[in-house]
Amino acid sequence: MTTRYTKDHEWIRAEGGSAVVGITDYAQTQLGDVVFVELPTVGKSLKKGGEAAVVESVKAAGEVYAPVSGEVTAVNTALSDDPAGVNRAPESDGWLMKLKLTNPAELETLMDEPAYKAFVASL
């Protein structure tokens, strides 16, 4: 299972033809305390780079973009009652959605962990 990252601070962990998507620890730190998460509907088709979800904090609202194209197969409904789960565990239990990949080759256009860490260090 490989984790890839976007310059918009989303992560995607793909295995086979499906993947889990969320925001990075850096993103949740920048947002601050998350108070609301707007998730896509199951069955929605997402295009790479298109808006997929919204994460609102006490400081700001941030769009979450689809790191790759795919169909939403599940959303993390626990975040509806406990949006702060994104703050506590952004890269594990605070995941946002699961996708069925429509173009797995798009994963190759994303950063691996060392590249993402270097990118964040340059900000």
pLDDT tens digit sequence for 48-92: 999 999 999 999 999 999 999 999 999 999 999 999 999 999 999
The answer to whether residue 45 scores a pLDDT higher than 90 is yes
CA torsion through residues 14, 63, 81, 77, sign: negative
Over residues 90-120, the pLDDT tens digits come to 999 999 999 999 999 999 999 999 999 999 9
What residues does each domain of the chain span? 2-103
- pLDDT confidence of residue 106: 97
CATH topology of domain 2-103: OB fold (Dihydrolipoamide Acetyltransferase, E2P) (2.40.50)
- pLDDT confidence of residue 43: 98
Q: What are phi and psi of 87, to 5 degrees?
A: -70, -40
- pLDDT confidence of residue 1: 75
The answer to whether residue 123 scores a pLDDT higher than 90 is yes
Over residues 23-43, the pLDDT tens digits come to 999 999 999 999 999 999 999
- pLDDT confidence of residue 2: 86
- pLDDT confidence of residue 62: 93
Q: Please tell me the distance from the alpha carbon of residue 97 to that of residue 12, in angstroms, as a whole number.
A: 10
